[in-house]
Structure 1
């Protein structure tokens, strides 16, 4: 985000007025559009409100903007000629379309992080820079320079990466497949998007865990799907609930995150897995398994995916490197029947002609390298250390105000607040104090829950961040 240069000899208000005039002339603020309020713009730019008032006065004197009491400040419609010019109503277009914007809480969190990069971030569901294998990947890129033709690749994905994934899935996840049944995507969300857009139709009923990461993705509503809840307890969902939903609503698909579920951190129990396969086979019901966290297991062997037990071909399996290596590579995958892979690859080709070959090549080299397994071991140790720091901080700062079950893997800690507070007010109080988290209602839960991601903040930030959160929570309880 642009900020005025405090070292410049030009006054701050002039820099701001020049910057706004450029944005208006470029069409970012069309004639008649509403500008940010003086207070909000001052906060965004890190200046006093009086500085913004002077900048607005400068633009007003040139006839570029107009201010009316109660209506805010708008770009003038007549500045650029004697007669008003007809420009598209971009606000109406921005509010249209069938693809819905992010949830308000998620937009607020993103806005806060963009405006204040120093916020301690318990919200972003990705690894911090120190947990990513940056040095190893840099070494591999230097050792294996990509020299092939940089044209469009197979829309199903780079063949050497699919071949490497076949070995990876067999060794680490117990899944036996072939490269023709593997499709490379730009992460789990693109896999979900392709499934909802290509395999389902508006009005179809699907079942989703409650709470679930899927509730934070408006893509389900954008696809016109009807969502039905499968409550999650300490052992995961109850498979008999699927049977009930099928009878009532004829659900066509079930979406699950069985291992270290996001956001609760639970692992779907062995006994219930057997029941699930029995229900799915009797109903002929496909299950989408999202498995991003299994290899983060802190102690013992990683829990096996449902796909490794799938003898009937009921599971569409989704995986990703984002939670175990580097989210910036944008590498995910799907294991599905070849007919499904062909259908989704065709849609994918219409969208973007496939991923860039270069990150796919890097990912293939990393999976096959001697660096991969040591990285996983180091990641597990470091994540467990951060989890323990988070729990220690919560027990110190909020011993009687939160309740949680300690996760044995994954990146998240799901907390229940023992006092009733308003989600939005708590988030704003936390942002004021320099920390951000995700309210539980984002995941379809009732208010009174929060999700802390311990993989994102630096080690030294965790105790400080929880202390600030505790201040925000107590401020609301007292008021």
Structure 2
């Protein structure tokens, strides 16, 4: 984000006025559009509110903006003395369309992280730079020349990557498949988007875990789906709840994250897995299994996915590199019956004509390289260390005020707060103090729950982040 140059001889208010005038002239703020408030703009630019007031006064004197009490500050509809004709109502367009915007909490978190670089990030569900195999991937890119054809690739994805995924899935996940049943995507969210848009219809009922990452994705509501809850306890979902929802609502699909579930960290136990597969095979009901975290298991053998037990083709399996390597590669995959892969590959080709082949080539080389297994070992060790640091800090800062079950894998810690506090006020107070987290309501839970992600923040910032959160919580409970 642009900010005024404090070393410049030009006063900061003039720099701000010039910058806003330029953005208005470029059409970023069309005539009649609302500008950010003085207070909000001052926060974004890191200046005093009085500086923004002077900038606004300068623009008002030029007739570029106008202010009305109770209506805020808007771009003048008669700027420079010219009355625009038939200016599109961009606000109406921005509020329209069938694809819903992110949830308000998620937009606020993203806004805070974008505008304040000093925030300690206990919200973003991705790996920090020191956990990603940056050196290894750099080495691979220097060792291999990616000079093959750079045109549009196979709609299903780069064939050598799909072939390498066949070996990877068998070795690490116990899944037997062929390259023709694999679709390469840009990640789990694109896989879910394709499924909700292409395999389901508006009004269809689907079952998702409660709480669930799926609640944070408006794509389900955008697709017009009816969502029904499968409560998650310490052993995962109850398979009989699936049968009950099928009878009551004729659900058409079940969305699950059985291993180190997001946000709770729960692993669906073995007995329930067998019961679940029996129920869905009896009902002819498909499962979409999202499996981003299994290989982060901190000790012992990572739990195998449901798909490894699937003998009749009931499960669409989704995976990606985001949580085990680097989210920036934007490489994920889906294992499904060939007819489904063909249908979704056709839809994806209509969207973007396929993914860039270069990240797919890098991913293929990394999967079969000597770097992959050592990277997983290092990742697990560092994630466990970060998890333990988060837990130690919570016990120190909030003894008897927060409850949680310690996860054995994944990137998150799901916590119940003992003091009653308003989710929105807690988030705003935490942001003000320099830390950000995700309120539990984002995932469909009641108030009083939070999700901390320990993979994104640098190790030496976790304790400070928890301390700032504790100050925010205790400050609100004393009001």
**Counterparts of 1:217 and 1:61, CA distance in 2:** 45
What's 1:288 paired with? 288
What's 1:427 paired with? 427
Q: Secondary structure at the match of 2:424?
A: helix
Q: Residues 82 and 22 from structure 1, CA distance in 2 versus in 1: closer, same or farther, beyond 3 angstroms?
A: closer
Q: Secondary structure at the match of 2:130?
A: helix
Tell me if structure 2 keeps the 8 A contact 1:390–1:462. Answer: yes
Post-superposition shift, 1:84? 3.7
1:141-180 to structure 2, matched below 5 A, reads 141-180=141-180
Post-superposition shift, 1:68? 1.3
Q: Secondary structure at the match of 1:414?
A: strand
Query: Bigger shift: 174-183 or 73-82?
Result: 73-82
**Counterparts of 2:76 and 2:418, CA distance in 1:** 51
Post-superposition shift, 1:438? 0.2
Q: Does 1:188 align with 2:188?
A: yes
What's 2:239 paired with? 239
Q: Does 1:98 align with 2:98?
A: yes
**Counterparts of 1:406 and 1:82, CA distance in 2:** 64
**Counterparts of 2:86 and 2:407, CA distance in 1:** 57
Deviations 1:225-277 (A, max 9, x none): 00000000000000000000000000000000000000000000000001001
Runs of at least 5 residues in structure 2 that lack an aligned partner in the other structure: none
Tell me if structure 1 keeps the 8 A contact 2:254–2:287. Answer: yes
Question: TM-score by structure 1 length?
Answer: 0.99
Deviations 1:390-413 (A, max 9, x none): 000011111110000000000000
Post-superposition shift, 1:85? 2.5
What's 1:441 paired with? 441
**Counterparts of 1:396 and 1:83, CA distance in 2:** 63
Tell me if structure 2 keeps the 8 A contact 1:412–1:451. Answer: yes
Deviations 1:408-433 (A, max 9, x none): 00000000001111100000111111
Aligned residue pair count: 479
Q: Secondary structure at the match of 2:452?
A: strand
**Counterparts of 2:340 and 2:226, CA distance in 1:** 22
What's 2:319 paired with? 319
1:20-99 to structure 2, matched below 5 A, reads 20-99=20-99
Tell me if structure 2 keeps the 8 A contact 1:430–1:468. Answer: yes
**Counterparts of 1:331 and 1:446, CA distance in 2:** 34
Deviations 1:320-378 (A, max 9, x none): 10000000000100000000000000000100010000000000000000000000000
**Counterparts of 2:231 and 2:266, CA distance in 1:** 12
**Counterparts of 1:357 and 1:80, CA distance in 2:** 49
Tell me if structure 2 keeps the 8 A contact 1:236–1:267. Answer: yes
Post-superposition shift, 1:313? 0.6
**Counterparts of 1:477 and 1:443, CA distance in 2:** 23
1:323-362 to structure 2, matched below 5 A, reads 323-362=323-362
Tell me if structure 1 keeps the 8 A contact 2:63–2:80. Answer: no
Deviations 1:108-145 (A, max 9, x none): 00000011111100000000000000000000001011
What's 1:267 paired with? 267
Tell me if structure 2 keeps the 8 A contact 1:228–1:245. Answer: yes
What's 2:279 paired with? 279
Q: Does 1:200 align with 2:168?
A: no
Q: CA RMSD in A?
A: 0.6
Post-superposition shift, 1:81? 4.2
Deviations 1:13-32 (A, max 9, x none): 11000000000011111101
What's 1:415 paired with? 415
Post-superposition shift, 1:56? 0.7
Post-superposition shift, 1:83? 3.3
**Counterparts of 1:223 and 1:382, CA distance in 2:** 38
**Counterparts of 1:85 and 1:44, CA distance in 2:** 32
Tell me if structure 2 keeps the 8 A contact 1:413–1:451. Answer: yes
Tell me if structure 2 keeps the 8 A contact 1:209–1:229. Answer: yes
Post-superposition shift, 1:460? 0.5
**Counterparts of 1:305 and 1:119, CA distance in 2:** 35
What's 2:455 paired with? 455
Post-superposition shift, 1:4? 0.4
Runs of at least 5 residues in structure 1 that lack an aligned partner in the other structure: none
Moved over 3 A (4+): 80-84
Tell me if structure 2 keeps the 8 A contact 1:77–1:85. Answer: no
Q: Secondary structure at the match of 2:227?
A: strand
What's 1:395 paired with? 395
Tell me if structure 2 keeps the 8 A contact 1:78–1:85. Answer: no
